[in-house]
Structures are given as C-alpha cells and as structure tokens.
Amino acid sequence: MFTTDDLQELLEFHSPNVPVLSVYLNVDPTQHSTEEYRLILRGLLKEAGDNAAPEDIARVEKYFDFEYDWQGKGVVVFSCQAEGFWRTYSLAIPVPDQVYVGPRPYIRPLSEVLDDYSRYGVVLVDREGARLFLFEQGKLQETTGTLGELPKRHKKGGWAAQKYQRWADRHARRNLKEAAELTAKFFAGGRCNRLILGGTEDNVTQFQTMLPKALQDMVVGSFAIDMTASESEVLDHSLAVIRQVEREQEKQLVEQLIAAWKRGQAVVGLSDTLAAIQEQRVWILLTLSGYRESGYRCESCHYLALQERAACPLCGGEMKRMDDIVDHAVRRAMEQGIEVETVRDNQELEKVGQIGAILRY
C-alpha cells in the first residue's frame, strides 16, 4: 500500500550528482502476458538510455527478472544506487507506462493514485441485511455484514397474503434499520469520506434515509448489484462509480478555475502558474494529466523558470535544465501544502494552457 508517508519520503529525496531512475509499469494481467510486459519494460529502459546510470538500469532489470512476483496491476520502481536509494511499490490498480530520469523521483502518477483511489466504503443492501466493505487503492481492507430474517411466504392468497406482506415489510424495515446501525458503527471515526450504496433502487433509497445525516452526506453514488456478488465484482462496480465522481469533480474545478480567472482570482498557463506558486499565492493547483514541459531550476534556491538564464535572478545560483518543470511545480505546491488536482481529458483546461491555479489572494 502506497501511503502519504511514502509520498513525503519521495518528496524529500534529492540526488544532485547522480540521477534517479523512475519506472512505472502497467502489469494488469487482463491486458497482456508477463512476457509482453517484459518487452514493454525493456522499451522503457531503452528510452532512459544514457541518461540513467548503468547500475540503476541493471538493478531494475534484476528486480523484474528475479524478485518481482508479478502480482497486482501496477508497479513503480525508484533507483539511485549511488545514493543507496531503492524503493518499489506494487499497486492493485494500473499505472501508465513511463520512465523518467532526473535529480528526484518522479511522483506525479503516485500522487494521482492517492488522490483518486483514497479510502471509500461500499454497502450492499437488501431486505434481509447488508454487506459492508472498506476499499483503498483497489484493495479490500475490511468487510463485515448483517443478516436478518424474513418470514416465509404464505401459500394462500387474499387476506393471508396481505397479512404476510405487511409482516414481511416490518421485518425488512427492521433488517434495514439494523444494517444502518451497523454501517454507522463500521464507518465511525472518519474511516472514509466517500460511501457508495449497492442494491435495488427501492432498497437503496429506503436504506439511505435511515442513515445518520453525516453518512447520508457521504454517499457519492450507487449501483445495481445482487447481494451474492463476489468481492471483485463489488470492487469493479464501485471503482466505476469512483472514477465517474472524480471526473465530475475535476470538471467542476476547471469551471471554477476559469470563472475565477475571468475575475482576476486565478492564473492559467505555465508561466503565470509558476510565478504564483513561487509567490505562495496558490490555493488549488490544477494540471492536465500527462502534461510536461522542459524548464530550468536553480540548484541553490530551487527557483523555477521556463527560459534559460545564465544565473538565478533571485540568488545568482546555477540554473539547470529539467525535462519536466511541471513535476517540479507540483512538488513545490505539495511542499507548501497546496491542494493539487490532476485533471484528465478536459478540453477547457487544455485550451487555457493545461495548467492553472486558483489563488488565495
């Protein structure tokens, strides 16, 4: 499991003399075979070329040849053998294939993992009870459930059938109420801030009204599913809801950014966004997924610039070329405690320069 502590460690590591090799590999077994993924890996390492230290290339090759178990759907490796730095993360969700060589670990895709796949809960409900799940980063963390009873259906019609129906409805309501009480206990203490409900529309609607107001406000979506569904089916359905919710939130943030920009309360484009980050005026940073630009970074004070300069305008230090200045901007934002949102496939953000920031002042 990749954690915020892991991210913080990667943020702090810096190797000014020998570069860090960062490798992201999608190993989803439903898409390709292990041998096909080995070919993709060789292509990535070839792409790193002479920029990466031979020792790091060899260490990554050894890891995938003899150490990695090829489980999960994504794997991330960071290597800087000259500094004794070696980190690997196996993920239950796929990551885009990419390689990066630079003075620091390339962390943007991992920050997206923490953002998009943070902990959430799922409750499957029907008239007999509920099944509860806690997921994080595509993995089941904990599960429980409750099962009540419903009276057996009466074979006769007429008044007896009507009486049975009223009796069954009372039992079902009691079962749903017990499920709501268990849900409140299971998700108490801020264990997650997003909740997804599964079942028939009638059961989900009735169950949601029984939840405490705080849990009702956490519900972000629902899906139709049978109570006997497997854990993998529950995960797949819930992840589809999470992705839909994330895309909608991203769309709303971009709309908020553009509206604030028109009022002079936001900036767009890389140049103005870099300036706002370095002036510590940013509230929320938005960047399009996969957006990269080269630039320059001061080795002394870490000033960021798009244009080459003989010396840093702030401290006179050496300005060094960076293949991805956007990644360094994201790092700087995280170090300042700024909220960073990665946006996917949004034409409106692309039109205004693929990056922007809503300002605090």
Q: Could you tell me if 359 and 283 are in contact, meaning their C-beta atoms sit under 8 angstroms apart?
A: yes
Task: Starting at the earlier edge strand, list the strands of the sheet with 98-102.
Answer: 85-91, 74-80, 20-26, 98-102
pLDDT for 167: 65
- If pLDDT is split at 50, 70 and 90, which confidence band does 151 have? low
Query: What are the structure tokens assigned to 311, written together?
Result: 């010396």
Task: Report the C-alpha gap between 226 and 28 in whole angstroms.
Answer: 26
| Sign of the four-CA dihedral 336, 339, 344, 350 | negative
pLDDT digits (tens, 9 = 90+) for 211-242: 999 999 999 999 999 999 999 999 999 999 99
Q: Is the pLDDT of residue 161 over 80?
A: no
Q: Is the separation of the CB atoms in 286 and 343 below 8 Å?
A: yes
| Domains parsed from the chain with CATH numbers | 4-116 (3.30.960.10), 120-229 (3.30.420.60), 249-359 (3.30.1330.30)
Q: Which residue did the predictor score with more confidence, 169 or 70?
A: 70
- For residue 1, pLDDT over 90 is answered with no
Q: What is the pLDDT of residue 181?
A: 96
- How confident is the model over 254-311, as pLDDT tens digits? 999 999 999 999 999 999 999 999 999 999 999 999 899 999 999 899 999 999 999 9
pTM above 0.85, yes or no: yes
Question: Does the pLDDT at position 156 exceed 70?
Answer: no
**CA–CA distance from 149 to each of 108, 126, 128, 210, 219 (Å)?**
50, 11, 6, 19, 27
- Calculate the alpha carbon distances from 256 to 16, 265, 268, 349 in Å: 38, 10, 12, 11
pLDDT tens sequence across 99-126: 999 999 999 999 989 988 999 999 999 9
pLDDT band at 169 (very low <50, low <70, confident <90, very high): confident
